[in-house]
Structure 1
């Protein structure tokens, strides 16, 4: 039997992931704190805590992979067309500055940026959906989640 206190605790734990918009890594820190304080009191909170932490760790991994792929590609495309020369009076001059050509590499970078933005939007709505499910006494299973904590 899931009590009202369990539902409230699990919902608060889900909503605490939104603290990422105020504190860096708040989406991991605050759910972990709530989960570690309440996990022995309620199996419902324990199960939902594992799920939100696993979901946030999975998203962190996906974001890191996308950043590792997209940032070097973007920097390469930006600096690809720049020729820099040093004049006699010590001033740097940029010649032939172009944004670059649209290539397969540039398209890969654009797709990576779009995926990063899409993941953030999806994360926002999945957290809200999980909070609603928890407030109704249901355990929500996040999609695309790697089980770091079993």
Structure 2
């Protein structure tokens, strides 16, 4: 296994593709994780955090949809989740660059 913090940082930042292209925030990190998890030191751990965060965001966004009918609380949820999906990949990319473990809030452990 090789140490490649730059690839791990890129994997975290690839979640921001959603804001550029409208898609890819789950697919690109999933492909990077699946192809590099056995080749790059700590990629498996970081990749699981990223995939769990992206899947959790999808679930939370789906929960917010019916919340729109209840006094617009779903819209507030969309805004908060949008902010989280922008800020936390950047924070965790910086942590990954420093060799630290990522921490994403509101994350369910789909993959352990």
TM-score w.r.t. the length of structure 2 is 0.90
Matched with 2:38 is 40
Trace 1:94-105 onto structure 2 (pairs within 5 A): none
> Does the 8 Å CA contact 1:44/1:139 hold for their aligned counterparts?
no
Matched with 1:94 is none
Matched with 2:77 is 115
List, as ranges, runs of 4+ consecutive aligned residues in structure 1 with deviation greater than 4 Å.
none
Offset of residue 43 of structure 1: 4.0
Matched with 1:145 is 107
More strand by share: 1
Matched with 1:20 is 18
Mapped to 2, the partners of 1:28 and 1:20 lie a distance apart of 9
**More moved, 58-67 vs 40-49:** 40-49
Count of matched residue pairs:
112
User: Aligned-pair RMSD on alpha carbons?
Assistant: 1.7
Offset of residue 24 of structure 1: 4.1
Offset of residue 20 of structure 1: 1.2
Q: Which deviations, in whole Å up to 9, do the C-alpha atoms of 1:5-46 show, x marking residues without a partner? A: 2x1111000000111123444110000010011101134111
Residue aligned with 2:78, SS: helix
TM-score w.r.t. the length of structure 1 is 0.69
Trace 1:20-99 onto structure 2 (pairs within 5 A): 20-70=18-68, 73=69
